Homo-oligomer: A and B are copies of this chain.
Amino acid sequence: MTPPRAAATPRAASTSGTGPGAPYTRVKQHLKDGLAADQWPSGALMPSEAELVAQFGVSRMTVNRALRELQAEGLVERIQGVGTFAAQLHKVSSTLTIVDLHEEIVGRGHHHESRVHLQRSEPASIELAPQLEVAPGSAVFHTLIVHLENGVPLQCEDRYVNPAVAPRYLQADFTRITPTHELFRTTALWRAQYSIEAAQATRQEARLLGVAADTACLILVRRTFTREAPITIARLVHPGNRYSLHGEFQP
């Protein structure tokens, strides 16, 4: 016999039937939720395709697609002839690829909300000006936005934008679209430069994120460029206890 399966909660009623979207997304989200809730600890055997077919009343191809995509996302590991297992880090996924946070959160089936704390034009400080290659004192755009996933602060985004590259930046409604999305839409990304560090957030950031002032945070500072000029410099602060970056590359 194959290894014993964790006694699956007969939870058919809650998710089968009326989930949002296509059947395969329902199966996928059901498994994602279970993984997030630690229903299957790392390495545990998950339900087989046949069991999911019975539970959701869909065809095997549909279940197979859901599982295949979870595997591609690194959430599960599958072994032919053996079974499907919960992968190690079901914490949070993000690659260093520049990804739109909104799409990432929604992709997890969760709710994304942006709180815009600042959206205005400011004179460039003496430290900032060379970063954006503008004259000190000339106007630059500044936004300060906190992103929430299901109501929980996930990222504090402090961003300066070069007006020469994105002149209409300030007119966007950042409660509806993210700065990343707006800049992707209006500029031609050519190069990015990033630095990642672990440190304490500033007092203001800690307050905005709702964490203690001495919490270890993951701070990513990213500068992006068109072929000619800097587009933006962003300081992205994640509370370390609920976020981890991960990625993969293949030379």
Q: Which residues in A have some Cβ–Cβ distance to B below 8 Å?
A: 43, 61, 72, 88-98, 130-131, 188-200, 216-219, 238, 240-241, 243-251
Contacts and interface: CB of A to CB of B under 8 A. Distances in A.
Contact of A97 (B91, B199, B219, B244): B91
Given A92-B97, A93-B97, 14 more contacts: A61-B61, A88-B131, A93-B95, A93-B249, A94-B249, A96-B96, A190-B251, A192-B248, A193-B246, A194-B246, A197-B244, A198-B198, A198-B238, A216-B217
A248 B194 contact: yes
A72 B196 CA distance: 19
Contact of A194 (B98, B131, B241, B247): B247
Q: Main secondary structure on chain A at its contact with chain B?
A: mixed
A41 to B, nearest CB: 11
A91 B190 CA distance: 9
B96 A195 contact: no
Count the copies: 2
Nearest to A241: B199
B94 A247 contact: yes
Contacts of A245: 195-197
B89 A195 contact: yes
B248 A130 contact: no
Contacts of A250: 190-192
A244 B189 contact: no
